[in-house]
Structures are given as C-alpha cells and as structure tokens.
Amino acid sequence: MLAQMPFVANKPLKRTMSKEAKKHFDSLLSLDVELFEDELTGELYSKVTDTRTGKTEIRKCIYTDED
Amino acid sequence: MKTNVKTEIYTNDMLCLSKDFSSGNDFLDEFIKSPDALNDGLGKTFVWIDEKRTHIIGYYNIGVGYIDMFSGDDKYKIGGSVHLNFFALNEKYRGIIIGQTDEGKNVKISDQLFGDFMNKVYEIRHKYVGFSFVTLAATEEVYSLYRRNYFDDLDEDLHFSFKDDEKGCKPMYLALDVE
C-alpha cells in the first residue's frame, strides 16, 4: 500500500513564505552573537557580527518585560 | 565574563546542568530534566550552552508532523513539517534586546535562539529531509515571539495533530517555500 491518505501532488501549495519574512530570516540568521557580563556592574553587553558584511557592533543589552 | 554560545545536541552528560535551568515555565523546566529530553522517539533536543559548559542558556526540541487540509469530508496531506515540540530560554536571558535586523527590528536573545532553531530547520531541509512547513503550538506567553518571526495562525481549513501537552495552545505555521 502506498499511502493511507491521498497526497495532493497536483495541487500547488497555497501558502508560501513572504519576501518580507525571507528577508527577516536572512538577516536574523546572519547574526553571530557573543554575550559579555561586566563583572563589576553585572551589566550585560552583546557583540553582534553580521556575517554577511563582517560588521561588528558592541552594545549594552536593553531589558524589556516580554520574552 | 564572556559567554560564547554553542549549539549542541543534548546528551546524557548534560543532565547535571539541567537541574539549574529555569525558564519560568515549570512544564518546560521539567522536560529538560527528564529522560524524555533524550528520547529520539519523542524528538531531538538541542541546547544552547556556554562555551565552558557551566549552564544551559536555552533549548529546543524538534519532531516531525504533517499539515492536512479538509475539503468536505475528505482530508488531504498538504505537506510535511518540522514541529517545534519545546522551546525554552533561561529566564535570566528573557526580554533582552541584543541587536537589530536589517529592517531595524529589535532582536532579543529569544529571537536569536529561535534563529538557531530555524538554522537547524534549513540545514535538515537542505541536507536530509524535505518538508514544506514549520509548525508549533504556541502558549499565550510566547505567541508574540512567533508572530514577530512571521508565523501565522493556522487557517481554518488546515490542521495538524496536537501532542497531549499542547491542548489549549494556538496552532501556528510557517511555509518555507518562498513566494
């Protein structure tokens, strides 16, 4: 038996990823992140490198209430 | 202190690190402490761990699924999916903005862990198994994380089967084929 349920092979997928979403993931997935904690103050810093451009930015982390 | 984050497959020798893991969600905390997190039959667990292997920063567990479509009384397979079974971040790292995307959107550590999961998804799809979607069942607390990462609520005519522990969650999906 090949399959119990029919596979709609001739039906195009209705749902695709938008170009905006693709751009978002291209950007998000290119970020290389390191975290640093200041031992004196306990403040957290991030060093983020965009692997596409090699550009690195160090910034103090900002705390929010959400996830 | 410098924290270089590494992604590793969760193994037996990391169980001792899980005892200090706290995400603020007891269910997710219990999972990573249980043998279920090592059970390939349930899913594969990947952890974010610091380079010195002192603590677990976050984890996700990946399984497989299918999206079906109802048409009248019939049910059709629309496409295979990778299903995000579990996703948790140590509460110490919650809500922290670490950078921005090209579009100027804030990137939190939770987004970065989620991006790591998506990297894994693309790797699996590119190298090993073909599928069309990523699916997950979102609790209210993390719904906004998935929405800002372009996940949509499942349309009414689409369906995937929930795990027992996902009842009451909102089914969401992301198509991987680009328009």
What pLDDT does A5 receive? Answer: 54
Do the chains contact at A5 and B122, CB–CB below 8 Å?
Answer: no
Structure tokens at A59: 């910034």
Mean pLDDT of B32-60: 95
What pLDDT does B161 receive? Answer: 86
Residue B132 has pLDDT above 90, yes or no: yes
Q: Specify the pTM.
A: 0.90
d(CA B109, CA B3): 13
Mean pLDDT of chain B: 93
The chain A residue lying nearest B134, using CA atoms, is A17
Per-residue model confidence as pLDDT tens digits over B156-167: 888 898 888 888
DSSP class of residue B34? S
What pLDDT does A14 receive? Answer: 56
Per-residue model confidence as pLDDT tens digits over A10-53: 444 457 899 999 999 999 999 998 888 888 898 889 999 999 99
Do the chains contact at A13 and B173, CB–CB below 8 Å?
Answer: no
What pLDDT does B89 receive? Answer: 97
Mean pLDDT of B27-39: 97
What pLDDT does B19 receive? Answer: 95
Sort out which chain A residues have CB atoms less than 8 A from B178's CB and list them. 16-17, 19, 22
Do the chains contact at A20 and B115, CB–CB below 8 Å?
Answer: no
Which range (B2-11, B25-34, B91-100, B130-139) has the least confidence? B2-11
ipTM topping 0.85: yes
d(CA B133, CA B173): 7
Contact A15, A23 (CB under 8 A): no
What pLDDT does A12 receive? Answer: 46
The chain A residue lying nearest B144, using CA atoms, is A67
What pLDDT does B70 receive? Answer: 85
Q: Which amino acid is at B8?
A: E
What pLDDT does A4 receive? Answer: 57
Nearest to A39 among B1, B107, B112 (CB): B1
Do the chains contact at A29 and B110, CB–CB below 8 Å?
Answer: no
Sort out which chain B residues have CB atoms less than 8 A from A59's CB and list them. 98-99
